[in-house]
Every structure is written in C-alpha cells, then in structure tokens.
Amino acid sequence: MGSLSVLELAGLAKRYAGFEFGPVDLAVGEEVLCVLGPSGSGKTTLLSLVAGLVTADAGSVSLDGRSLDGLPPERRNAGVVFQDGALFPHLTARENVAYAATDEGRVADLAALLELDDVLDRRPATLSGGERQRVALARTLAADPDVLLLDEPLSSLDAPIRRRLREDLHDLFAALAVPVVYVTHDQRTATALGDRLAVLREGRLEQVDTPRSVLERPATRFVAEFTGCENVYEVPVVGSGEGVVRVRLGDATLRVRSATAKPTSGATVTACVHPSRVRLDGAVGALDGPSAPDQSFPGTVRRWLDEGDQYRVVVALDAGVDLAATVSPATADRLASLDGAAVSVAIPPDAVHVLS
C-alpha cells in the first residue's frame, strides 16, 4: 500500500442484547467507502467501533498500520460527522469549527471552502439543516482527521439541499487524502459518492464492490432487492453452453450470459434483472431506444408509477411472471396511452445476473 493511508477492520465484532454486529473484515484505502444498509443493520455501530465511541468485543481496527484497539476516541484522530451535525448549541458556528482547529487560519480556509462565511457568528439553533451539516463537516475537518466517518449526514435534509450538498461532498472527498467511510440507507447517495459500496445486513457484510458491480451483479438476493433490483426469480436451469445458460422463466426460456457461474442442468438458480436494464417495445414500434431485441417476451402493462425523473412500469409477461422496468418520461408519455395494452419486453442476456 506504500504511503497510502488504510483503515483496516479485522474480525470486528460487538454484541448487544438482541443484536450482533460482525465479525466484519474490511479494508478502506484513500477512497470513499459507502456502507449501505437498512436501519438496524449496524451501520452506526460500525462507525462507533472505528471512532472508539463503542468498545469492540472482538477483532481489531488499525489505521496506517497503527492499532487503534483500546484507544479512547480522543486519541484515534477519527473524525465523525453525525446525522444532524451534533453541533455544540452554546457555541457559534465559528466557535464550533474552531473547537478543535489547530490555528485560526484553518477556520477561515474551511469557512471559505464550505461557504460558511455568512453564518459563522450564528448559533446552531438559527442555522438551516444544510448549514448545520456544513458547519459540522468543517468542524470535523478542522481537526485534520486521519479517517473521516460520516453517519447519514444528508438524511434529514430537504431534497434540493441534499442534492447540492451531495455534489459538494463528492468534490470535497476527491480532494481528501484519507479513507472516508460514509454510512447511508439511501442507495442513490451511496452510488453517487462511493468509490465502493459495502452492503450491511444484520451486522454482517453481504457484498463489498464498486457501485456498478453491486447494482448489476448483486451477490445475494438481499443486496439485489435492497439496491432496487426487484426482478428476482428462482429459476430452474434447462441447459448451458458457450458462456450462455438457459433458464426457465415461467413458461418461457430465458438466455443468460454467464461468464462466472456454470450451473448444471436441472439445478435451481436465483436470477435477477435490474429494471433499468430491460427495454420496452410497444405494439406500435420501438418505444425506448433502438429495437434490437435478441430475446423479447410479450406481456401486458399491469400498472405504472410516475416517479418524477423516471417511470416504473410493471409488465405481466405472457409467460406468467411479473417484471418491473424503469423507462424515461419521454417513453412513458407514449406508454401511458397504452395502459393495459400489449408490449414486448426485451431482456438482453447480459442484463440477467445469476446469483452465486
């Protein structure tokens, strides 16, 4: 790893009444690792263990080869940004940022970087949610942490402020030369900010990989469903050859490009298709991009939802299964008039992922 800073967790575990965290093994370099999981999956526990706010039952945490085990929080130099900022209410924004700053110049630099100049002399109670998080971030960065830990810092913000701050965070992280662990239950934030995702479920890591890989090749059914890949089917294998596996989807046969998995005929596998990877063609012609269906399945639009930036369409395939697809509003404009009408669903073989 050379001089790159690395955060390493080895066999890290913590037991609570009714909840068991870990054991978790994880290495984070100078990158942004987004820990994604539902509430109660142990995301905050993970951060607390690294920051030393909670004592581990087993395992170890090290930073750049230096063991943090047994060290109190103040000697770990692990910066934490809490969910709603956890700003000191009796101090002004400036005093908050200066709380752990080494010199006054640092406060000014961070105020400029995070656009805080106008709010520096105000108390946290008078700040907006977005301003509070910027102050919290500045306060944490002022201490020059060796690792940055963020606990859902955007979750309580309104959508426009959240988007804006997400973009700022993205740029900020890129300029930081320390490991960043960012905890969230929001898949969009995780994929937008993370160089890698770690999906946590009931205190254990289900998958650690790039956002693309996690979305397109989820390791488990849980990861698939949690990241929005709701088309998950238990399907029998009917044949295989030359990197292609044929599975039975309802009454139809689905060809799946499979480089890694080589299931034997007759076995049952779990296959998933991300809604964004399927294409809808209407009876009136291609609806969504050029029509190149190397395998298409006829079906009927069962229902559709306008999600604002995209439409979610559920199609009842004639083969006897339901399949969700997301389409652009432009496509949906034409589909809307076809409510309940016949469509053709194109599923490229490499859009289907077989869970191992």
Partner 1 sequence: MHPTRSRSESTGRRAGVDWLSVSFLLGALLCCYYLLPVVALVVAQPPGVVLARLGDPTVVSAAATSLVAALASATLAAVFGLPLAYWLARAEGRARTLVTALVVLPLVLPPIVSGMVLLTVVGPTTLLGSLAAANGVPLTRSLAGVVLAQTFVASPFVVVTATAAFEGVDPRLEAASRSLGKRRLTTVRRVTLPLAWPGVLAGVTLAFARSMGEFGATVMLAYYPRTMPVQIWVSFTTLGLDAAFPVAVVLVGVAVVTLVVLDRLGTTPWGR
> CB–CB of 300/342 below 8 Å?
yes
286 binds partner 1 (CB under 8 A): no
127 binds partner 1 (CB under 8 A): no
Name the residue among 57, 69, 8, 86 with its Cα closest to residue 203: 57
Q: Which of 43, 106, 134, 139 binds partner 1 (CB under 8 A)?
A: 139
Q: Residue 221 to residues 98, 120, 190, 227, 261: CA-CA distances in angstroms?
A: 46, 47, 19, 10, 16
Q: How far apart are CA 349 and CA 329, in angstroms?
A: 25
Q: Which of 33, 63, 80, 327 binds partner 1 (CB under 8 A)?
A: 80
> CB–CB of 202/42 below 8 Å?
yes
Which stretch of DSSP H or E encloses residue 153?
none
Sites for partner 1 among residues 105-124 (CB under 8 A):
123
Diameter over CA atoms, the chain: 71
Name the residue among 111, 185, 187, 127 with its Cα closest to residue 161: 127
172 binds partner 1 (CB under 8 A): no
Single out the segment in contact with partner 1 by CB under 8 A; choices: 77-85, 241-249, 251-259, 288-296: 77-85
77 binds partner 1 (CB under 8 A): yes
Q: Which amino acid is at 298?
A: P
Total chain residues near partner 1 (CB under 8 A):
25
176 binds partner 1 (CB under 8 A): no
Q: DSSP H helical segments within 187-322, as ranges?
A: 187-193, 211-216, 221-226
Q: How far apart are CA 352 and CA 232, in angstroms?
A: 10
- Beta partners for 317? 299
Question: Least distance (Å) from partner 1 to the CB of residue 233?
Answer: 44
Q: Which CB, 79 or 282, lies closer to partner 1?
A: 79
183 binds partner 1 (CB under 8 A): no
Name the residue among 68, 64, 40, 43 with its Cα closest to residue 55: 68
Question: Least distance (Å) from partner 1 to the CB of residue 19?
Answer: 16
Q: Which CB, 52 or 299, lies closer to partner 1?
A: 52
DSSP letter assigned to residue 281 = E
Single out the segment in contact with partner 1 by CB under 8 A; choices: 33-41, 51-59, 256-264, 315-323: 51-59
Single out the segment in contact with partner 1 by CB under 8 A; choices: 66-74, 172-180, 219-227, 289-297: 66-74
Give the DSSP per-residue string, 186-208: -HHHHHHH-SEEEEEETTEEEEE
Q: Which CB, 84 or 195, lies closer to partner 1?
A: 84
At residue 315, what are phi and psi to the nearest 5 degrees?
A: -110, 130
100 binds partner 1 (CB under 8 A): yes
Q: Which CB, 123 or 163, lies closer to partner 1?
A: 123
Single out the segment in contact with partner 1 by CB under 8 A; choices: 84-92, 281-289, 301-309, 314-322: 84-92
Q: What are the residues binding partner 1 (CB under 8 A)?
A: 51-53, 72-80, 82, 86, 88-90, 99-100, 123, 125-126, 139-140, 143
